[in-house]
Structure 1
Amino acid sequence: MTHRLTAALAAATASALALTVATGAQAATWKYSLEEAIDEVQGVYATKFKEYIEANSDNEVQIFPFGTLGESNDTTELAQMGAIQFATASPGFTGSLIPELQVFLLPYVLPEEHAVLADFYQTSETINDMLAAKYEDKSLHLVDMYPEGEVVMTTKEPVTSPADLDGVKVRVMTSPMLIETYDAFGATPTPLPWGEVYGALQTNIIQGQENPMFFVESTKMYEVTDYITYAGHNNFTTAVVANKSFFDGLSDEDKTLVQEAANAAYEHIMDYQQGLTERSEAKILEAKPSMTVTHLTDEQRAPFREAAQQVREAFVNEVGGDAQAVLDGFEADIEASKARVAE
């Protein structure tokens, strides 16, 4: 166990003990960690979740924003251990724990339309049955999964084709499929912890990164890059997980409460995201008018889509197991969502 994780575990345990002493053994205070700040998308979701729980029960939810209990991998491990009850665990990190989750990282698989995305995450049997079962095998229970926004590339030089990424070091999360994606796109994928990204861009150790626009704005990534490119290749996905033993031990009433809170938070966060990308882009351009924003045309996206085929093949071949079934199920579920939204 790392020193950082040991410290985080001690902090979480001390917090739990203090709350038990202060409020009595009957009080249920649930700890919930984030990969983002409290005012970013995950924090907005968690705040609504907390509000619902506390308005409809005597339970309390204590939210720990990014960095409070360590990096994303640390907080997922804390949830597995039962030191915290809930955690945000994005597939970009948990793909190493559950390889099939890397399907969310495949370029040009997820739909771009907001309404289709909203329906897909709620109704997909692939997500809510097949993938949910894989969390159970890792001492986790999948509470919810939702998109956070279209991923954009921010770079120091313009990008309109894969050739423009030749030799460009692009920061990626520690996921084989993200590495495969940017390798296919012509870049040099460079895994880095999030806390090192701003400095690495500032010192030119890397020359690019990808994230939803709201995150580019809130973390000020635009200060150390000059170009933003919409390639339409993905939408950032995150998951809310609970410690499996904790969830299994809840009363039926509390299990229903958690699901209802997740439903309320899901509806809220999907409404919140309407126009969020555009608002964030406007803030960036106000802060840095020299920033160049480019939406690639269908013609410009074509070579990126072509390169994406080898990433899909790598996913099936390298992940193995249920990878093909997950990918096929994803595509079928997406088509079903498109049909429902079109009705």
Structure 2
Amino acid sequence: MTIKTLTTASLTALILGSGTAMADTWRYAFEEALDEVQGVYAQKFKEEVEANSDHEVQLFPFGTLGESDNIMEQAQSGILQFVNQSPGFTGALIPEAQVFFVPYLLPEDQDQLVSFFRNSETITSIFPELYAEQGLELLKMYPEGEVMLTTKTPVESPADLSDVKVRVMTNPLLVESYRAFGATPTPLPWGETYGGLQTGIIDGQENPAFFIESTRMYEVTDHITRLGHNNFTTALMANQEFFEGLDEADQQVIQAAADAAFDHIIDYQQGLTETALEAIMEAKPAMTVTTLTEEQRAPFRETAGDVEATFLEIGGPRAQEVLDQMKADLEAAAAS
């Protein structure tokens, strides 16, 4: 019997055990390995909580409790106290969160990007209300790195993506984005991606460089293309009933830990992309890494308007408010 086939009741028993020995242990699941960005963030969060309270934080990396949809269900039901998950997967619950998949919306400039995530009214005011409607306390959103496309054939224009099956998260707007790019978007659980590339079920996938390197996606693809279209965003959430049941001191410990982990992960990411690309090229010298010129990006960039229009159609009742405020936040970040 695997974790993925456990019932909610048996999973609860497995994690909690019996008696009250685990009463002060908080459980935190995320979508990556311990040595990847979400894992590094989680370890810093754990360190801060345990240094400033009597509580222990138990970490569950990707796969230990199932796929992304499994850990979200466990967080909503209270089996987990914390979950770190990308809006790519929460889009079905919170359609407004799909705004992060409008291409060429987030800046490439790292200082502007960090300023946006630190100060965004969208993140600090609007999204907490939307997440709360799903029983989740939004603690922090943070960037993980420039998204790059890995394929078996070179990509320099939308025409090069014709009939190319690109694995995407199960997110309607990301599907629309790659369709607009000319590709055939193929939603697929992450655990099936490597095998899918081996067998030809898919022809490519997108992720930050560190994740391409750590998961060895370069072994089953031959080309990395930097379209400049996005930066991978993720979010730390708590079960809202759990969080609201804590005293003010514990809530402050949690928020301070989330803030400290944010600062830590921003510092950690300095040079991470370049280091990962160097490691990929050392492991597979035949791999190509192509940064498209502004002229080559232009036809991809032109699709953003159509994807934005789709977001306003499917992005939930507050889509227009979210998009308008996010653009204002990005303008403020650019001016800072």
| Cα distance between partner residues in 1 of 2:261 and 2:328 | 26
Q: 1:16 deviation in Å?
A: 1.9
Unaligned residue ranges in structure 1 (runs of 5+): none
- Alpha-carbon offset, residue 263 of structure 1: 0.7
The equivalent position to 1:127 in structure 2, one of 120, 123, 141, is 123
User: Which 10-residue stretch deviates more, 9-18 or 289-298?
Assistant: 9-18
What is the CA distance between 1:297 and its match in structure 2?
Answer: 0.3
Match for 1:298 among 273, 294, 297? Answer: 294
CA distance in 2, matches of 1:331, 1:301: 21
Question: Corresponding residue for 2:240?
Answer: 244
Paired residue secondary structure (2:150): strand
Q: Which runs of 4+ in 1 moved over 6 A?
A: none
- Report the counterpart of residue 190 of structure 1 in structure 2: 186
Identical pairs, percent:
60
Q: Quote the Cα distance in structure 2 between the aligned partners of 1:122 and 1:54.
A: 24
Deviation at 1:13, TM superposition (A): 3.5
Assess, with a 3 A threshold, how the Cα gap between structure 1 residues 39 and 31 changes in structure 2: closer, same or farther: same
Which amino acid in structure 2 is aligned with residue 85 of structure 1? Answer: Q
Residue pair 1:228, 1:294 contacting (<8 A) in 2 also: yes
What is the distance in 2 between the residues matched to 1:135 and 1:5?
A: 27
Over residues 93-133 of structure 1, what are the superposed CA-to-partner deviations in whole Å (9 max), with x where a residue is unaligned? 00010000000111000111111111111211111111110
Give CA deviations for 1:128-171 in whole Å, capped at 9, x if unaligned: 11111011010110011100000000000000000000000000
Q: Is the 8 A contact 2:95 2:314 kept in 1?
A: no
Instruction: Name the residue aligned to 1:46.
Output: 42
Equivalent pair of 2:173/2:307 in contact (CA under 8 Å): yes
Matched, 1:286 2:271: no
Selected match of 1:312 from 303, 308, 312: 308
Are 2:259 and 1:263 aligned? yes
The whole-number CA distance in structure 1 between the counterparts of 2:63 and 2:326 is 32
Q: Is 1:17–2:17 an aligned residue pair? A: yes
**Conserved? CA contact 1:12–1:84, under 8 Å:** no
Aligned to 1:225: 221
Matches within 5 A, 1:1-343: 4=4, 6-7=6-7, 10-18=10-18, 20-22=19-21, 27-340=23-336
Deviation at 1:204? 1.2
Cα deviation, residue 17, structure 1? 2.8
Does structure 1 retain, via aligned residues, the 8 Å contact 2:3–2:66?
A: no
Note the C-alpha offset of 1:21: 4.3
C-alpha separation in 2, matches of 1:91 and 1:306: 23
TM value normalised by structure 1: 0.95
CA distance, structure 2, for counterparts of residue 22 and residue 46 of structure 1: 23
- Matched to 2:13, the amino acid is T
In the alignment, the residues of structure 1 paired with residue 226 and residue 185 of structure 2 have an alpha-carbon distance, to the nearest angstrom, of 18
Whole-angstrom CA distance in 2 between matches of 1:226 and 1:236: 22
CA deviations on 1:168-218 (whole Å, 9 max, x unpaired) are 000000000011001000000000000110011011111110001100000
Q: Contact 2:3–2:11 at 8 Å: present in 1 too? A: no
Q: One-letter code of the match for 1:145?
A: M
- 2:237 counterpart SS class: strand
CA distance in 1, matches of 2:201, 2:110: 35
State the shift of 1:6 in Å.
3.7
Structure 2: gaps spanning 5 or more residues: none
Amino acid at match of 2:16: A
- Tell me the matched-pair count: 335
Q: How far is 1:320 from its partner?
A: 4.3
**CA distance in structure 1 between the partners assigned to 2:195 and 2:15 by the alignment:** 32
AA matched with 1:233: H
Q: Distance in 2 between matches of 1:9 and 1:42?
A: 27
Query: Are the structure 2 counterparts of residues 12 and 41 from structure 1 closer, same or farther at C-alpha, using a change threshold of 3 Å?
Result: farther
1:58 positional shift: 0.7
Q: Per the alignment, in what secondary structure is the counterpart of residue 140 of structure 2?
A: strand
Alpha-carbon offset, residue 226 of structure 1: 0.3
